[in-house]
A and B are shown apart, each in its own frame.
Chain A
Amino acid sequence: MIKPAPQPGPENPAKPALRVVKASHQVSAAARGDKTFRWLSFFCSLVVPLVMLAIGLELFWTSWPAVRQFGWRFFFSAEWNPVLQEFGAASSIFGTLVSTLIAMFIAVPLSLAISLFLVELAPPKVSRVVGTLIELLAAVPSIIFGMWGLFVFAPFMAHYVQPLLGKTLGFLPLFQGPPMGIGMLTAGIILAFMVLPFISAITRDVFQLVPPVVKESAFGMGATTWEVTYKVTIPYGLVGIIGAAFLGLGRALGETMAATFVIGNAHRLSLSLFAPGNTIASTLANEFSEATEPLYVSSLVALGLVLYLITYLVQVVSQMMLRRMYRAWSVGL
């Protein structure tokens, strides 16, 4: 795997053959240093896959009792009853996917708009200030989002947004039920706020890297700003945009504290986005510390395993997509 470089030394004399013995010693010592460094960095790079593997194995091992007890039912049942020791992951998996979907649905178009404005349209001064603000937003701890969500945003949703949605789109099962302010929709929107800075910071960088020559030639041919954006900038940066979206997706899937505050923490499947739900991460945060029965703990670990597999799957899919697009478009960065 690692081919040792040919070493200048006594048996493999370098060109100024042994004229200065001291110098040759120095070279050989440096080469040994190189070799050591190579092995050292090799072992360091092993740390990440080993930790991944260890976590995966431990999750498998600890979740085995629950999987053996409930079988496939564990993944499809929404029953979660600690009193009767009946556990099913469906409501948590459903909540994780739905809240993430809402977040992406809002955050991706919004961050595209933001970064296009910052790169293409805004005066440099405004662009710098807004750009810094977005980066600051990325640094806000998730618990702050959670508390703001619970005390400020949830009442706002309950008093204004949800009644309006209920009145106009209430015929859809998605927007039915009493406006509590807390629930799947609110959690999705808060998650969107949280991933927004990540996606827009990267897409902004991506757009900045589009060579000015390409854009200028398009302008030169009489294209409007919209046409340049739509036909040059976005296709050119598409791979980067998708990469940014997947980064945001990964963050939204695993977000814990903010979701716990505003999602309502109910083990229930509901079509309505106004209804409370839960996510895998929020269930773990809520119930792990006081879970006493072995089967209960094992079921919670099994939930963790599901999240681990979902995140892994998302990464694999994103890598595959990126590679395929890279080849098909043969553009990118």
Chain B
Amino acid sequence: MKKLFGFLVTALSFLALATCSQAQSVSINAAGATFPYPIYSQWAYKYHELSGVKLNYQAIGSGGGIAQTKAKTVDFGASDAPLKPEDLDKIGLVQFPTVMGGILPVFNVQGLETAKLKLDGPTLANIYLGKINKWDDPAIQKLNPDLKLPAQAITVVHRSDGSGTTFIFTSYLCMVSPEWKDKVGSGTAVKWPAPNSIGGKGNEGVAGQVKAVGNSIGYVEYAYAFQNKIPYALLQNKAGKYPEPSVDSFAAAAANADWSKAPKGFALMIDNQPGDNSWPIVGATYILAYKNYADPAKGKAVLKFFDWSYKHGQEMAKALHYVPMPENVVKLIETSWAKEITSNGKPLWP
């Protein structure tokens, strides 16, 4: 009995010690978008090894991330679609992008498995509008004079869940097709007009549906097309060229975008940028930080983490098929921190 008691006391004191030491180091709590989760967790792991600061990022979705940020239950939130400047001011948030990703059209047509199918923006928009509903439509044939296209009905695949991917994709369609802008618009979820359209949950869901349903076309993030080895279509960019989708062509688009003219919160559409090698559908994912941190140590830890990620996390991002932010954009972002993020009236950065 006495022995047991002694054991319990030792165990308890160890436990108390453990919790004490944990409380001493800063830990950051965050929640939000699922799209950047792989890179955030990778950064967090590496950063924890180096600095001892722990980041708990919960990938509960952008909607949940925004709600948690509003409720102030997290130290920062993450969203795939940027918030409007007036909403940022209303809640008291600062928004900045962390990484970018490219989106490409994938398709499944028998006989065209290895073909380099070429599409342009208006044609893609008309396919998603349901106006072009056969693969051998003259508009597609004109872009692909060498291909033998089948006379089959096109099934359009889209995301069934709300997603940043859909936001970036529909923003692109708005840019290239006035009719799409009028009838559908852009958003993390939209009302899909084509009669033959089906939804898949997540990038893997869209990739799966495209693979399973013949004569279909869908849109996924680059990593999923790359890993699943689904045939993808080349898209004509603003310069009239057909670049290969790769981290390089996504980075070219980001570099050619004019970030200094970006509205508050860096809600810049990087879709359809000039430049010969710019891939036309590229978008960023965003962080929502508070304008005022009650605990300066917490606020500083958040900013330090992202500063480290911008400067040392680029290779990790590229390995996971994300595009890191260009250096000039990082400068702009950090300037905005210095201007807008404070704790008890004192600026937190640098």
Contacts and interface: CB of A to CB of B under 8 A. Distances in A.
Interface of A: 79-84, 150-151, 154-155, 158, 177-178, 180-183, 260-261, 264-268, 276, 278, 282, 285-292, 297
B184 to A, nearest CB: 7
B212 A267 contact: no
B92 interface: no
Contacts of A79: 191
A113 B186 CA distance: 51
Interface of B: 34, 60-64, 66-67, 79, 81, 153, 155, 160-163, 184-192, 195-201, 205, 208-209, 211-214, 216
A290 B162 contact: yes
Nearest to A86: B191
Q: Is the interface of B mostly helix, strand, loop or mixed?
A: loop
Nearest to A289: B61
Nearest to B202: A286
A155 B213 CA distance: 7
A180 to B, nearest CB: 5
B162 A267 contact: no
B189 A265 contact: no
Nearest to A79: B191
Contacts of A181: 212-214
A183 B197 CA distance: 11
A83 B191 contact: yes
A154 B189 contact: no
A182 B209 CA distance: 9
B63 A83 contact: no
Nearest to B34: A289
B5 to A, nearest CB: 30
A83 B186 contact: yes
A287 B64 contact: no
B208 A151 contact: yes
A82 B62 CA distance: 15
A150 B202 CA distance: 14
A180 B161 contact: no
A287 B189 contact: yes
Given A84-B185, A290-B188, 5 more contacts: A178-B153, A180-B198, A181-B212, A182-B212, A292-B67
Contact of A150 (B61, B66, B185, B209): B209
B199 A286 contact: yes
Contact of A180 (B63, B155, B188, B189): B155
A255 to B, nearest CB: 15
Given A150-B212, A180-B213, A292-B63, A83 B185 contact: yes
A180 B60 CA distance: 32
Contacts of A290: 61-63, 161-163, 188-189
A285 B201 contact: yes
Contact of A291 (B63, B184, B213): B63
Most chain A beta carbons < 10 A, residue from B60, B185, B191, B192: B191
18 contacts: A79-B191, A81-B191, A82-B162, A82-B188, A83-B187, A83-B189, A155-B214, A158-B213, A181-B212, A183-B198, A264-B198, A265-B160, A278-B199, A286-B160, A290-B161, A291-B63, A292-B66, A292-B67
A180 B190 CA distance: 22
